[in-house]
Amino acid sequence: MPDLLIENDGAVRILTMNRPEKRNALNMALSEALLDGLRDADSASDVRAIVLTGAEPAFCAGADLSEFAVLTPDNEALVERRATLTMELQGVCAKLSKPVVTAVNGAAMGGGAGLAIGGDIAVMSETAKIGYPEVKRGIVAAVVMANLVRQVGRKAAFELVGTGEPVDAARAFVLGLVNRVVSPDKLMATALQFAHVMAVVDPQSMAATKELFYRAADLPFDEALEAGRDINQRMRSFSKSK
């Protein structure tokens, strides 16, 4: 079976991480397949939204620790390639023109937690957990920290990376890490509902909305207003292009 399952539900592309025996841990092969799958979906003319989930029983356990044995100082090229791949994967959803909904069906740890909250909208099973256990393993929640500190307040973010303790779905919702918490049997239906609602939005409008959203989030207020003004002016050309 492939590491990544790909199917369409109308205009929604569903990507399922498929290493259930490894709890969908991110090795090089799955990371590359997932990055390619997300980018391919973004460029596909018949796809308007994306849902990302994991094969049961987990969403994603994070980095595949079995690969760490070869990620040593004397293998510098591979270490650099792995770090760059991780960086690209953790940042890709915000750079896509199409909306991404994550369906967090089970444990999402480390890099898996980063993917879970990295989508534009996150739906979480009430039985799932999110955590950043890296510090307990003597390493750092490094690349995933950039998005985490933008999703929640600093105190909550440091609690997650400093203690390494996971949080349940109810706590994740309170912290603003996810949009909805639902029963396991309603997870995919809810995620697909979000995706299909956004799939009917004009693609130029959606792309511009995403672009401005992620720019404005990191700009000083006055610069964010200016960015909004620029998009406002661009909107005038949307109707003319149809």
Pick 4-198's CATH classification: 3.40.50.2300, 1.10.3720.10, 3.90.226.10, 3.90.1150.10.
Answer: 3.90.226.10
By the 8 A CB rule, do 155 and 212 touch? no
- Active site (catalytic) residues: 134
A 10 A CB-CB count for 65 gives 14
Q: What is the pLDDT of residue 212?
A: 96
Listed residue (102, 151, 150) closest to 125, CA to CA:
102
DSSP string, 7-47: EEETTEEEEEE--GGGTT-B-HHHHHHHHHHHHHHHH-TT-
Q: What is the mean pLDDT of the chain?
A: 94
Q: CA 199, CA 11: separation in Å to the nearest integer? A: 6
E strand or H helix that includes residue 235: helix 221-240
Q: What are the sequence ranges of the domains in the chain?
A: 4-198, 202-240
Q: pLDDT tens digit string along 53-71?
A: 999 999 999 999 887 666 6
pLDDT of residue 112: 98
Say if residue 201's pLDDT is above 90: yes
* 79 phi-psi bin (left φ>0, alpha ψ -120 to 50, beta other): alpha
pLDDT of the residue at 134: 95
Q: What 8-state DSSP symbol labels residue 5?
A: E
Residue 180: strand, helix, or coil = strand
Q: Report the pLDDT value the prediction gives residue 105, as an integer from 0 to 100.
A: 98
> pLDDT confidence of 238, banded at 50, 70, 90?
low
pLDDT surpassing 70 at residue 138: yes
pLDDT, residue 234, reads 85
Q: Distance between CA 212 and CA 234 in Å, rounded? A: 12
Residue pLDDT, tens place only, 177-200: 999 999 999 999 999 999 999 999
pTM: 0.94
Give the per-residue pLDDT at 240. Answer: 59
Q: How much is the pLDDT for 241?
A: 55
What was the pLDDT predicted at 239? 59
